[in-house]
Structure 1
Amino acid sequence: MTEHDYRTTRAYSVSDLNELDRLLLGELPWAIYWRTRYLGIPYHITDPKILKFGSTLHQMALEPEKPLVDEWHTLEEWETLHRMLSRLEEPIRQYFTNYPCEVPLSGTCELTGLRLKGKADCDYFDSLIDLKTTSCRKYDSFVASFDKYNYWRQAAYYIHLTGRSQFIFIGIGKTSPYPIFEVTLDADHPKILSSMKQVHALLKRAKVEAHKSNGWFPSSWFKKENIVLY
């Protein structure tokens, strides 16, 4: 399945729920949403350059057999990426080399009947693993960033989708000494439980929107194939 096929599949991802949440909170103007939906032109919450950097590191760590896009990065950026990859040697050996990576997931929400989708960086026994790049230099700072980037919600969503007992974030710093952070979250973690309530509420709202004549559907469903995300 190509990235375009995944994004346009008529099922709800955690990124789609984040879009709905931003619309409801007023953080994303409805005018931008409708433009995106009707023209198929993606908007960017994150700087596209940052997205490219993270995408390249993911590919180097999870799918090293795939060719890289040389023109995406400067020589200095490539040097940083290779230093980061070297620091990821242990997680690559322990997880990414021996267990399935870039795993598409799908299911039906028992609460709403909506179709759900996701993609796990790594499927590891009863856990799913997600690799993150970060500007944080300490473990506590990395965990503190979860609220800003909706990582708690991401973990809760994937636990809801799959019924797994754990979700693991592996973070790597983007500056020397490129620290590694591993955060294992159990399904009964208080922040996961509170985030699960958010996931349920957003899925219920998504179902309401789906029955409106001009309601919200994920803008990703309408993305044109010849327009790249980054």
Structure 2
Amino acid sequence: MFHDLTSYPGLTQEQHRALPHVSNTDLSDLKAQVLGQLRRPNPQALAFGSHFHAATLEPATYARTDERGIKWADLEMLARQVRRQRYCRDLLYRGAAELTHTATHTATGVQVKIRPDLLVRSPAGRRTTLIDFKTTSCPDLPHFLASAEQYDYDRQAALYLDTLGATRFLIIGVQKKDPHQLWVVDATAAPGFIEQGRKKYAALLRRHAKCATSSFLSATQAIPADKT
């Protein structure tokens, strides 16, 4: 499904965003455009999630900023809770955090980029597990599972799995409000979840390729002919 897989050890989040490849977020923007929707992510929620990931995955890089509206004490408490939880602590110890990869989607030629929160390989190298942490305001696990389709977690899971040829994708929900529960969801074990996500990303990559081709042809036609 994908080829030319390349990893970029040491690439920062800013450098990752600067890569010209298509990300899962870009696919969300394209989906909104196709549906005629105005996508307005909550900037405070995005900032909270970004800083939470830094505090959890790369605590050495974490520092408070002067951004307003972020409850830093709550964020840091959640990060500590995740890092102290036995299962998560083991994953964090064994996993490679925030490692950028790029690859080419074979069917469309679209170049994509992904950055799993954690990548854990088995000792023998035969099994690759990807882990993604999601902070959530959902009151319980059933509501969190119901939100998976709304936020296209299935598409992200399928895209990441297929790009890396990984075998397992875990979503760890981190409840922002009391009682601050952690929910570990094996996306690859949910019937039809990955298959549905695969259809989603494939359709959007085809749309992206079509749009890119149309834009290229329009630009080419607009170039005046050389009359010399």
1:137 Cα offset (Å): 2.4
Q: Deviations over 1:44-69 (max 9, x none)?
A: 72211111111111111100111413
Q: Deviations over 1:134-160 (max 9, x none)?
A: 001211111111122111111111122
**Residue 52 of structure 2 corresponds to which residue in structure 1?**
57
Preserved CA contact (<8 Å) 2:78 2:174? yes
One of 60, 72, 96 as aligned partner of 2:92: 96
Within 5 Å, give how 1:141-220 maps onto structure 2: 141-186=143-188, 189-213=191-215
C-alpha spacing 1:98/1:209, structure 2 compared with 1 (3 Å)? same
C-alpha spacing 1:26/1:164, structure 2 compared with 1 (3 Å)? same
Preserved CA contact (<8 Å) 2:152 2:197? no
Higher-Rg structure is 2
1:70 Cα offset (Å): 3.5
Q: Indicate the percent of aligned positions where both proteins have the same amino acid.
A: 31
C-alpha spacing 1:73/1:172, structure 2 compared with 1 (3 Å)? farther
Q: TM-score, normalised by structure 2?
A: 0.80
Tell me how large the CA RMSD over aligned residues is: 2.0
Gaps of 5+ in 1: 29-43, 216-230
SS for the counterpart of 2:185 is: strand
Preserved CA contact (<8 Å) 1:187 1:193? no
1:24 aligns with 2:34: yes
C-alpha spacing 1:187/1:107, structure 2 compared with 1 (3 Å)? farther
**Residue 46 of structure 1 corresponds to which residue in structure 2?**
41
**Residue 4 of structure 2 corresponds to which residue in structure 1?**
none
SS for the counterpart of 1:69 is: coil
CA–CA separation in structure 1 for the residues paired with 2:118 and 2:12:
18
CA–CA separation in structure 1 for the residues paired with 2:198 and 2:135:
24
Q: Which of 86-95 and 6-15 deviates more? A: 86-95
SS for the counterpart of 1:97 is: helix
CA–CA separation in structure 2 for the residues paired with 1:163 and 1:67:
30
C-alpha spacing 1:93/1:23, structure 2 compared with 1 (3 Å)? same
Say which structure, 1 or 2, has more relative contact order (CA 8 Å, 6+ apart): 1
What residue identity is the alignment partner of 1:150?
Answer: D
**Residue 72 of structure 1 corresponds to which residue in structure 2?**
67
Q: Which of 175-184 and 82-91 deviates more? A: 82-91
What residue identity is the alignment partner of 2:53?
Answer: H
